[in-house]
Amino acid sequence: MFGGSRIVVGLEIGTSKVCAVVGEWHEYGPMEVIGLGLASTLGGVRKGEIVNAEPVEDAVRLALSEAENQSDVEIDSVYLGITGSHIKGMNGCGVHLIPSVDREIDREDVRQVVTAAHPQISTDNKVLHTVGQVFRVDGQGDVKNPLGRMASRLEADVHVVYGQRNRIQNSLRLVKGLGIKVEDFAFNGRVMALPILTPQLGEQGVLVIDIGAGTSEYAIYLNGSIRHCGVLAVGGGHVTNDLAVGLKLTQSRAERLKLAHGSAVCELSCAHRTINYSSDVGIGAKQIEVGDLHQIMNVRLEELFQLIKIDLERQKLVGKINGGVLLSGGVARTPRINELAQEVFQLNVLTSAEKHADEDSRILRPETLTGVGLAEHAVKQIKAGSRRKRGLLNWLLESK
């Protein structure tokens, strides 16, 4: 399309916005973002799932149109992001006994052990990703490539991400109804880290949290592979609602005050400072204390982090995360949220700027990382597909 280059489009339908990202790439070299479109969903999405199709359709059209104008590309297909509290992650472990003595492990052995490792998923659910983690050969762990090794026992660990089939189909049908082909789809929590996660962090162990308006997705990368993921139906909209209820404000006023004066940690220096403003309906003036605003935000955001921490403790992963925490999503812009995350998880909190200090800040701001990640995931899938002909092992190892 552009002198031998190829084009991919990532499309994220979020609770507050649609994000469309056009990426251009060559067989060798990184992907470059050449178009970005954003549009408000206007209440058409709740907790990451479509509840009113009409405003979402309009938002998808607007976002794709803006991305087309920037990139000078006609978009007819996308890679679609999927989220929602119905998305789950499950680990599986499989064992395959090599049937004869003194025989090398071959591709059929690998296929059988991966099949054995795949956990059983009900027919009401659809698998989004099967991610290979590690092989073990005769008890020796962390084997990346078991082919050709002499063994009597082969084991494999996989991580499977799945969700309710009908709820996944809602987003697919909406996009296809606009005449746009869905090339593939991916769980937002799997791809959100791609623009900011370095190989070193992936090996050390890192927790990535994307806090959007209606949902918070999180994923743990360890030894270079995703180890666990989840979705909470809690996001920035819940912070706004708490402020509206606690301070007796309208939703719109609470949102504006959150953005203008909010903090994830109580600011002692200005706790008793008051904010004066006219009411939304023009009746008199009101005032609130900044300390009350910060306290309400702190309680909700700390609860969110604690819920994620409890899940990590249940999975016995807390002590294995040595690389730190990466925050993304619009709520990641909240002042002092890094301090709160560090206090809860007792880990360093990293920023996307540490990897992309010289990149376009509009493209790699927290609220667009998932859209960029979907485009990067598309490139990885296309490249892996061209190599898949070489066998299952290549797919398994490259699917990370």
Q: What's residue 279's pLDDT?
A: 58
CB neighbours of 246 closer than 8 A, spacing ≥ 6?
292, 296
Q: Which helix (H) or strand (E) holds 129?
A: strand 125-137
Residue 353: is its pLDDT beyond 50? no
137-171 pLDDT, tens digit per residue, is: 998 887 878 888 988 899 999 899 999 999 999 99
Distances (CA, A) of 342 to 19, 305, 390: 29, 10, 44
Task: Measure the CA–CA gap between 168 and 113, rounded to whole angstroms.
Answer: 29
What's the pLDDT band for 357 if we cut at 50, 70, 90?
very low
Residue 3: is its pLDDT beyond 70? no
33-79 pLDDT, tens digit per residue, is: 999 999 999 889 998 899 999 999 999 999 999 999 999 999 999 99
Task: Measure the CA–CA gap between 244 and 280, rounded to whole angstroms.
Answer: 12
- Phi/psi of residue 323, nearest 5 degrees: -85, -25
What's the pLDDT band for 352 if we cut at 50, 70, 90?
low
Task: Measure the CA–CA gap between 140 and 125, rounded to whole angstroms.
Answer: 34
219-265 pLDDT, tens digit per residue, is: 999 888 888 999 999 999 999 999 999 999 999 999 999 999 999 99
Q: What's residue 273's pLDDT?
A: 86
Tell me if 128 sits within 8 A of 173, measured CB to CB. Answer: no
Q: What's residue 161's pLDDT?
A: 93
> Which range has the worst mean pLDDT, 5-9, 125-129, 364-368?
364-368
CB neighbours of residue 272 within 10 Å: 10
